């Protein structure tokens, strides 16, 4: 048997159900793994070892009583943007460095209702703003495949933890790619559900019309188990969809014959690494060999997606982050002459440079006289992007594309040039703009020009609204036929 920390969720659940292992043993194995390797990776902001052991004991009692759910006793990491009752939730910001929520986010509560075990909180870019986890106010996370490189972001701590065996799965969030891109950089499987599929209650808001919670795990079958637990209507989130939750595990037939898969020509533009292009092309051939029918399609509004996103996301961010005024909660600068100075100093010291850049961009785009030229225009472009997808989904069942034009880059490589950093998300952002589900799965390795370590490449599968079951099945079929998702970093 492999080491306990190497088990997938499904494997661990089987061993727990057979009473071959206990949740305490499994949890201790993950905690030992964290102690052994997180010094090199910094994937965790908080490790809740004592809480985890208590929760594991409770899970073991539940398993013995015969009333376990599919995730009872399974350890998890939760991105630090999600509220956890009694456990610090910093959003990787100095603003919330001392913040301890008094409730769980709905997604966390649903996992805890099954007695999933909280190992700790994942490092991330401050408030989810970034693509490399270098915007964490505390420390960057490193990529387990090459520690001189970033794990991607903003859920970089989650992807690095799953890749390095420091958690069988993690909850991340995706506003413009923050689950899929780090999953691709770290060689794990990540699912961004349809907007509204998973409740955002208790998710600290970045851009409310784009934010969505989803799992990062070792394969698509594990993502199906986790989505099953967290999906579904929640009256506490007005944007949560009342649609029934299908049986995701039952959808994993492994049969993709006859499925029509579209390849958007705009997603293979110049500037893409040759190694990424080759790995994605080979994955598309593999899907064809499994019986899928491949068609070229066009999404002509793709070229406007990044500009559209960088109006809408900062606009929503500037409104959402107005609440951090040093009065109600969070960091509060002391000793100022008056309220205005106190607010100014609080925001000056509490927020990092990228967060300030977004707030300024958003406040400008929303200001009177500019609103029509920027925010309104971006909303119109958003409609065009949605229409592009709606048109192609009349002819194809799903789209196949790269997740990112590049593999994991070196720490510091893009920090001086925000636009170069933003460009990394060019193939993930349109999906959030249209509110669609998408999954990122490992599909090979590529060696970058500036290094000699082969790094993971991700394949993105994009579906129509609420087609998570179809996407997970395509991903599962691919993973049944290939072994890329079983490759592990040597750390």
The one segment of 5-13, 27-35, 123-131, 450-458 that binds ligand GLN by CB under 6 A: 123-131
Q: Is residue 232 close enough to count as binding ligand GLN by CB under 6 A? A: no
Cβ atoms 59, 72 nearer than 8 A: yes
Nearest to ligand GLN of 70, 418 (CB atom): 418
Nearest to ligand GLN of 117, 365 (CB atom): 365
The one segment of 122-130, 230-238, 259-267, 326-334 that binds ligand GLN by CB under 6 A: 122-130
Q: Which residues contact 320 (CB under 8 A, 6 or more apart)?
A: 205, 206, 207, 208
Q: Out of 140, 177, 437, 463, which residue is the one contacting ligand GLN (CB under 6 A)?
A: 177
Using alpha carbons, select from 243, 274, 270 the residue that is nearest to residue 466: 243
User: Nearest approach, Cβ of 366 to ligand GLN (angstroms)?
Assistant: 17
Q: Out of 69, 75, 128, 330, which residue is the one contacting ligand GLN (CB under 6 A)?
A: 128
Helix (H, G, I), strand (E, B) or coil at 271: coil
Question: Cα angle vertex 123, ends 159, 348, to 5°?
Answer: 140
305-364: contacts with ligand GLN (CB under 6 A): 313
Nearest to ligand GLN of 337, 419 (CB atom): 419
Using alpha carbons, select from 205, 270, 209, 199 the residue that is nearest to residue 236: 199
Nearest to ligand GLN of 203, 223 (CB atom): 203
Q: Out of 60, 80, 234, 425, which residue is the one contacting ligand GLN (CB under 6 A)?
A: 425
Active site residues: 79, 154, 178
Using alpha carbons, select from 261, 232, 259, 281 the residue that is nearest to residue 461: 261
Nearest to ligand GLN of 22, 199 (CB atom): 199
* DSSP letters spanning 154-220: SSHHHHHHHHTTS-SEEEEE-SSSTTHHHHHHHT-EEEEPPTTTB--TTBPPSSTTT--EEEEESSH
Cβ atoms 185, 152 nearer than 8 A: yes
User: Nearest approach, Cβ of 369 to ligand GLN (angstroms)?
Assistant: 25
User: Nearest approach, Cβ of 200 to ligand GLN (angstroms)?
Assistant: 13
Cβ atoms 185, 143 nearer than 8 A: yes
Q: Is residue 130 close enough to count as binding ligand GLN by CB under 6 A? A: yes
Q: Is residue 178 close enough to count as binding ligand GLN by CB under 6 A? A: yes
Neighbours of 282 (CB within 10 A): 14
Nearest to ligand GLN of 155, 346 (CB atom): 155
User: Nearest approach, Cβ of 178 to ligand GLN (angstroms)?
Assistant: 3
Binding mask 200-229 for ligand GLN (x = CB under 6 A): ------x-----------------------
Q: Report the C-alpha gap between 321 and 323 in whole angstroms.
A: 5
CA-based radius of gyration for the chain? 21
Q: Report the C-alpha gap between 280 and 292 in whole angstroms.
A: 15
User: Nearest approach, Cβ of 187 to ligand GLN (angstroms)?
Assistant: 19
Nearest to ligand GLN of 8, 158 (CB atom): 158
Cβ atoms 388, 299 nearer than 8 A: yes
Q: Out of 101, 176, 214, 232, which residue is the one contacting ligand GLN (CB under 6 A)?
A: 176
User: Nearest approach, Cβ of 128 to ligand GLN (angstroms)?
Assistant: 4
Binding residues (CB under 6 A) for ligand GLN: these are 128-131, 154, 174-178, 206, 313, 425
């Amino acid at each position: 048997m492999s080491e306990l920390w190497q088990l997938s969720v499904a494997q661990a659940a089987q061993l727990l159900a057979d009473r071959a292992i206990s949740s305490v043993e499994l949890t201790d194995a993950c905690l030992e793994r964290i102690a052994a390797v997180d010094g090199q990776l910094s994937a965790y902001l908080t490790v809740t070892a004592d809480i985890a052991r208590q929760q594991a004991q409770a899970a073991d009692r539940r398993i013995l009583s015969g009333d376990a759910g599919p995730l009872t006793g399974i350890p998890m990491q939760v991105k630090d943007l999600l509220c956890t009752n009694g456990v610090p939730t910093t959003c990787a910001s100095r603003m919330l460095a001392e913040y301890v929520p008094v409730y769980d986010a709905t997604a966390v509560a649903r996992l805890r209702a099954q007695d999933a075990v909280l190992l700790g909180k994942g490092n991330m870019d401050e408030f989810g703003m970034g693509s490399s986890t270098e915007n964490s106010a505390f420390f960057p996370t490193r990529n387990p495949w090459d520690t001189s490189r970033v794990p991607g972001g903003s859920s970089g701590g989650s992807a690095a933890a799953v890749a390095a065996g420091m958690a069988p799965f993690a909850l991340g969030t995706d506003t413009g790619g923050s689950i899929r891109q780090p999953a691709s950089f770290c060689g794990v499987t990540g699912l961004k559900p349809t907007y509204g599929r998973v409740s955002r209650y208790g998710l600290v808001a970045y851009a409310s019309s784009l934010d969505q919670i989803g799992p990062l795990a070792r394969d698509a079958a594990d993502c199906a188990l986790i989505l099953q637990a967290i999906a579904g209507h929640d009256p506490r989130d007005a944007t949560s969809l009342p649609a029934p939750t299908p049986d995701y595990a039952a959808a994993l037939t492994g049969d993709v014959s006859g499925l029509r898969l579209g390849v958007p020509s705009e997603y293979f533009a110049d500037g893409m690494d040759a190694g990424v292009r080759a790995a994605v092309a080979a994955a598309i051939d593999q899907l064809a060999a499994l019986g899928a029918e491949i068609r070229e399609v066009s999404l002509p509004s793709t070229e406007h997606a990044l500009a559209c996103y960088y109006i809408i996301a900062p606009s929503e961010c500037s409104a959402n982050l107005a609440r951090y005024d040093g009065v109600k909660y969070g960091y509060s600068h002391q000793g100022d002459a008056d309220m205005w100075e106190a607010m100014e100093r609080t925001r000056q010291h509490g927020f990092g440079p990228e967060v300030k850049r977004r707030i300024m961009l958003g406040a400008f785009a929303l200001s009177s006289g500019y609103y029509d030229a920027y925010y309104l225009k971006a909303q119109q472009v958003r409609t065009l992007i949605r229409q592009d997808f709606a048109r192609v989904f009349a002819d194809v069942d799903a789209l196949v594309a790269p997740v990112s034009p590049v593999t994991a880059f070196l720490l510091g490589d893009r920090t001086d040039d925000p636009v170069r950093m933003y460009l990394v998300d060019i193939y993930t952002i349109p999906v959030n703009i249209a509110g669609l589900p998408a999954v990122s799965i490992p599909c090979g390795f590529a060696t970058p020009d500036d290094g000699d370590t082969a790094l993971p490449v991700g394949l993105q599968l994009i579906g129509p609204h609420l087609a998570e079951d179809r996407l997970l099945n395509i991903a599962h079929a691919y993973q049944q036929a290939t072994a890329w998702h079983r490759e592990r970093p040597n750390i």
